[in-house]
Amino acid sequence: MSAEKVPLQVPQLGEAEFARLQQLMLDASGIRLNAHKRTLVAGRLLRRLRALDLSGYSDYLRLLDQPEQQTERRLVIDLLTTNETFFFREPQHFRFLATWLQEQRRPLRVWSAACSSGEEAYSLAMLLAEHAGHDDWRILATDLSQRMLEKARAAIYPLADSHAFPPGWLQRHCLKGVGEQQGLFRIGTALRQRISVRELNLMRELPSDVPVCDLIFLRNVLIYFNAADKRAIVARLIERLRPGGLLFIGHAESVQGFDLPLKSLAPSILRRQ
């Protein structure tokens, strides 16, 4: 007769423990975890408790407090940051840009300021390759999550993710996987070489080597911050946006009332005065 299996006990994330995780996220990223996300936080971190053979969240917090656990603290930020993205998200932005680009004759510098796993930056690269009218353009792609940046650098995606590509763009700009890589595609070398992927925290002062840009994409980022932090982030970024340059934000976001030199051109598209 086999021994009866004892079900795994699911540890509970207490209020004090959740408060400490809220502070950790705020200090590291500026993101404020609302109280209603307590269950989500517990679920996402449970896998780390299991992997590290820890009995509860208090044990995990003690581990995070150790100076040598910088990698684990980064992992917490990765796990608790939402990174939903896809190619050509919010297509009206790309339609607007396709027309705008045809009128540009100057070198173009573009910044995907929360690039996640890279789909936004590579969507922009394909658009520039098709519509810029010249080849003097570069893209900076930044994010806080090391896990997402690794995916962006690899530039490998499921073939199903290309469903929003305009006709012919997959063939012109990407390589389809064969053999063990069947069902995947990779962004072509010509586009990957034009994109610099790096870690950057938008809540901190920007490094001096972030270039002055013609286009900045800051989409679906501001929703995670309070009003003061939103204004600080936008003000910081538009210091690197040339006069006449464009800032793109998410359709659910607003910079109204921030008293910044921005003029609305279309929903969620703003021009620096």
Fold observed for domain 15-80: Chemotaxis Receptor Methyltransferase Cher; domain 1 (1.10.155)
Pair 217, 112: CB distance under 8 Å:
yes
Quote the pLDDT of residue 5.
47
Quick one: pLDDT band at residue 97, thresholds 50, 70, 90?
very high
- % the chain with pLDDT above 70: 96
Quote the pLDDT of residue 8.
52
Question: Has 220 been labeled as part of a binding site?
Answer: yes
Pair 212, 109: CB distance under 8 Å:
yes
Q: How confident is the model over 65-80, as a mean pLDDT?
A: 86
| Tens-digit pLDDT profile for residues 130-156 | 999 899 999 999 998 888 999 999 999
**The pLDDT of residue 14 is above 80:** yes
Pair 63, 69: CB distance under 8 Å:
yes
Quote the pLDDT of residue 1.
47
Rounded CA separation 38/14 (Å): 9
Quote the pLDDT of residue 179.
94
Q: Alpha-carbon torsion 108, 112, 117, 120, what sign?
A: negative
Quick one: tokens of 146?
């090391």
- Which residues are catalytic, by number? 44, 143
Instruction: For the chain, give every domain's residue range.
Output: 15-80, 91-272
Quote the pLDDT of residue 6.
43
Question: Has 202 been labeled as part of a binding site?
Answer: yes
Mean pLDDT of the chain: 91
| Tens-digit pLDDT profile for residues 195-214 | 999 999 999 999 999 999 99
Tell me how far CA of residue 80 lies from CA of 11, 62, 76, 146, 214, in angstroms: 18, 18, 6, 13, 31
Quick one: tokens of 236?
């910081």
Rounded CA separation 154/192 (Å): 9
Q: How confident is the model over 4-22, as a mean pLDDT?
A: 78
Fold observed for domain 91-272: Rossmann fold (3.40.50)
Question: Has 219 been labeled as part of a binding site?
Answer: yes
Q: Could you tell me which residue, 49 or 80, shows the higher pLDDT?
A: 49
Q: How confident is the model over 187-193, as a mean pLDDT?
A: 98
Quick one: pLDDT band at residue 30, thresholds 50, 70, 90?
confident
**The pLDDT of residue 7 is above 70:** no
Question: Has 83 been labeled as part of a binding site?
Answer: yes
Sorted by sequence, the CB contacts under 8 Å of residue 113 that are 6+ apart come out as: 142, 200, 202, 216, 217, 218, 221, 237
| Tens-digit pLDDT profile for residues 201-258 | 999 999 999 999 999 999 988 988 889 999 999 999 999 999 999 999 998 899 999 9
Quick one: pLDDT band at residue 82, thresholds 50, 70, 90?
low
Question: Has 89 been labeled as part of a binding site?
Answer: yes
Q: How confident is the model over 39-68, as a mean pLDDT?
A: 91
Quote the pLDDT of residue 131.
96
Rounded CA separation 151/130 (Å): 24
- % the chain with pLDDT above 90: 71
The position carrying tokens 């989500």 is 40
**The pLDDT of residue 83 is above 80:** no
Quote the pLDDT of residue 4.
54
Quote the pLDDT of residue 96.
97
